[in-house]
Structure 1
Amino acid sequence: MDQIAQLADWMMNEGRRSGDPVKIVSHFCASLIDAGVPLWRVNIGQRFANPLLIAWGVVWTPDGTESYDVTHERMLTDGYVGSAFEYVLEHRHPLHKSLRGLDSETDHVSYLEFADQGGTDYYATLLFYGDGSLHGCTFVTQSKDGFSDQHLKMIEAALPALSSAMEPITMRKSSESLLRTYLGNGPSEAVCNGTIKRGERTSLEAVVMFSDLRGFTALTDLADEDDVFDALNGYFDRVVQSVESHGGDVLKFMGDGVLSIFTIATPDDRTQQCFQAARAAQSALNGLSALNKDRDQQNKPPLDIGIGINVGQVSYGNIGSPGRLDFTVLGGAVNVASRIEGLTKSLGHRVLATIAVAEAAPDLFCECGLHNIRGVACPVQLFGLIERGL
């Protein structure tokens, strides 16, 4: 057991400080193999506190080590239901199972797949963390003799050290994932880096895109609650995917509105980010068109949106009370984006942009003339997006 003691020392010191789950799991498996445990495949699963991702993990094989994410939807599939992971988390004790003589009608598909690849024995057990959470891990061997009792004792003896190295990574990943989910990539990174005081802010240049769902009040009056939430989620999904796939960052949902920015890091980025925002708006319209086809088949009314795009200086940071903060962008550029979105219906264009944005993508916009914008002294020249369908 001297090798297990050496492994524990490495895990609680170098491994824990490394913050690298792939390195930790690779060293863990290599050390067990050196100690005589005949490993062929190891999966270290970690549970998330996150509304979008429920778990992540690291898989080791002799060919390499890689990490993965698990969505809530995947947990409802046959890949998890009836698996060893479900068993150990539900029953809270290990599972040792031979992969020989399996029944294709009753045994879980994972056992059958491992057996087809030469697996002979399977062991699933638990990692216990300081916050009381449980996490699963599985071990497969191709040894003709399977795992002996001594092999399983060595695995169990090494698990507390593995927990000590993996727990801080899991806690950090869980916190960062939650921040990204609720704040967006840019704000979450700023908060993680220590921008957490009220009033802390940064002035920067950005393209601001404000999207609003048309007819939302009427929808809430006529539809039941489930239909309203279904419509909002479908609309938000299309807008968020469009913004993020074009390099933007969704900052917040405001009722049925979406506030997004495309940060301009250097002057050379300005034209490109304006162009990306225009492409994101077109992508959102196309995504909404596809969503409406699905809604039509379900006899649900179509959804429509208005989008305003502007570029300029914004203040990016924390506002609020000492006990409750919000990370947002403020400034004239944000106000103009919101107010020109309000003109989309009357001007007959679902996407309106200021001249600074339109000049970056002249082939995508047509001129709509000068218009008075509340809070702006002089009329503003606006441009409508020339829509290009799917």
Structure 2
Amino acid sequence: MIDDLNHWMMTEGRCSGDPLKVAAQYCAKLIEAGVPLWRANISQRFANPLLLAWGVVWTPDGTEIYEITHARMLTADYVGSGFEYIFDKQQPLHKSLRDLDPATEHLSYLEFAEAGGTDYYATLLDYGDRSQHGCTFTTRSTQGFSPQHLEMIEATKTGLAAALEPMTMRKSSKSLLRTYLGDGPSEAVWNGTIRRGERTTVSAVVMFSDLRGFTALSDSSSEDDVFDALDGYFDVVVQSVEERGGDVLKFMGDGILSIFPIQTPADQNLQCQNAALAANGVLIGLAALNERRFGAGKPPLDVGISINSGQVSYGNIGSPGRLDFTVLGGAVNLASRIEGLTKTIGHRVLATTIVAKASPEHFTACGSHHVRGIAEPIDIFNLVDPDRQNDKNSG
């Protein structure tokens, strides 16, 4: 059985690209061999500044994938757990779940025991790049795991690692690209469609946001306070954009360029409305952030946002050995210049005519204004006050 399972993992399992299938097959074959599995958790570490790990949890009722952020490493979920033990001690952990002391045992052991678990085993998976990952196994058998059961788990780890390692590498690479490039561009780069000098042109609603007073904040605050302010501001903008189906393409200092792609002409009005709602969400989120900052004795943050619609092109530029992802186009340039008007017009969110006409309930006219690089003044519209929008929505 061991040789057959390892062979399947190294051949069909490795080529399947499906971690759910691999985990289900692995656990099913162990059960066929007599290992009384009730639950298995196979955790894989990410190479990603935001995400720490992903994994697969198998039970007789089904199999599911999860992800873990770096912040969770500092919580009680990890500290004192079986995963912490095996990474820290560099050795497996075999632990009975009977007669546990609620005052001293990790919450996960108590939860497994409460659900009927009797025995627990955690062990390391070693990959070819010398990275280490972990897996845990729980049983409800009254006899627990025997030494023979644990020997079978250890003997089949090589096959399991062989099957999951390429999936982990691909998932890490894709998540890293998405972290820095956003959904659409990262997919294009992964597929090899954006090489040096190539570009992709799409119709989109463009939203450009800029943190006001950033230079003064940088001059008057410590580096820790500046990074804390940027992280809070970025969190607010990215969350609001992504909640409305937008894609954050690029961070430019304290500026953020986002798009809401227009796949068909029928999407124009919808994406203009989504951009307006995203901008509104930024203002609401920033107000909540400033309340927390006020409580911590920190100065409030303010933002300028512009929304335009048109064609944008993105791609990789640079030398043969060093590339940078960039976004270009008239729609982007105009959005950037209109954002600069937020300082003089007195409204934090401004939009062009094409956006305001597609989303009239969200904007009101605020006159014609000169924009750098354009000979004639253009009509500018400002976002309706968030409180008034909330009143409309609640009515």
One-letter amino acid of the counterpart of residue 366, structure 1 = T
The residue number in structure 1 matching 2:393 is none
1: CA distance, partners of 2:188 / 2:176: 14
The residue number in structure 2 matching 1:192 is 190
The yes-or-no answer on 1:386 pairing with 2:373 is no
The yes-or-no answer on 1:157 pairing with 2:152 is no
The residue number in structure 1 matching 2:24 is 26
2: CA distance, partners of 1:314 / 1:122: 54
Q: Secondary structure at the match of 2:266?
A: helix
The residue number in structure 2 matching 1:54 is 52
The residue number in structure 2 matching 1:366 is 364
Q: Secondary structure at the match of 2:386?
A: coil
The residue number in structure 2 matching 1:351 is 349
> Of 113, 123, 126, which aligns to 1:115?
113
The residue number in structure 1 matching 2:140 is 142
One-letter amino acid of the counterpart of residue 98, structure 1 = S
1: CA distance, partners of 2:334 / 2:176: 31
The residue number in structure 2 matching 1:275 is 273
Alpha-carbon deviation of 1:195?
2.5
Q: Deviations over 1:258-317 (max 9, x none)?
A: 111111111111111111111110100110011111111112111111011111112121
The residue number in structure 2 matching 1:133 is 131
- Contact 2:197-2:317 within 8 A present in 1 as well: yes
Q: Deviations over 1:341-390 (max 9, x none)?
A: 00012111101100000011101111122222112233211101112136
Q: Normalization by structure 2: what TM-score?
A: 0.96
1: CA distance, partners of 2:347 / 2:127: 55
2: CA distance, partners of 1:304 / 1:88: 46
Bigger Cα displacement from structure 2, 79-88 vs 99-108: 99-108
The residue number in structure 2 matching 1:248 is 246
The residue number in structure 2 matching 1:317 is 315
Q: Deviations over 1:67-126 (max 9, x none)?
A: 111111111111110111111111111111111222222222211211121111111101
Identical positions, percent: 69
Alpha-carbon deviation of 1:65?
0.7
The residue number in structure 2 matching 1:333 is 331
2: CA distance, partners of 1:256 / 1:359: 29
2: CA distance, partners of 1:62 / 1:106: 30
Q: Secondary structure at the match of 1:359?
A: helix
The residue number in structure 2 matching 1:14 is 12
Q: Deviations over 1:186-230 (max 9, x none)?
A: 111111111342111122211111101111111111111111111
> Of 231, 234, 237, which aligns to 1:233?
231
Instruction: Tell me the number of residue pairs that the alignment of Structure 1 and Structure 2 aligns.
Output: 388
Q: Deviations over 1:128-175 (max 9, x none)?
A: 100001111011111111111111111111110010110011111111
- Contact 2:189-2:195 within 8 A present in 1 as well: no
2: CA distance, partners of 1:140 / 1:261: 46
Q: Secondary structure at the match of 1:165?
A: helix
Q: Normalization by structure 1: what TM-score?
A: 0.97
1: CA distance, partners of 2:278 / 2:375: 29
Q: Secondary structure at the match of 1:107?
A: coil
**Alignment root-mean-square deviation, CA:** 1.1
Q: Secondary structure at the match of 1:57?
A: strand
- Contact 2:42-2:56 within 8 A present in 1 as well: yes
One-letter amino acid of the counterpart of residue 213, structure 2 = G
2: CA distance, partners of 1:201 / 1:233: 30
One-letter amino acid of the counterpart of residue 115, structure 2 = Q
Q: Any stretches of 5+ residues in structure 2 without a counterpart?
A: 391-395
Structure 1 consecutive aligned stretches of length 4 or more whose deviation exceeds 4 Å? none
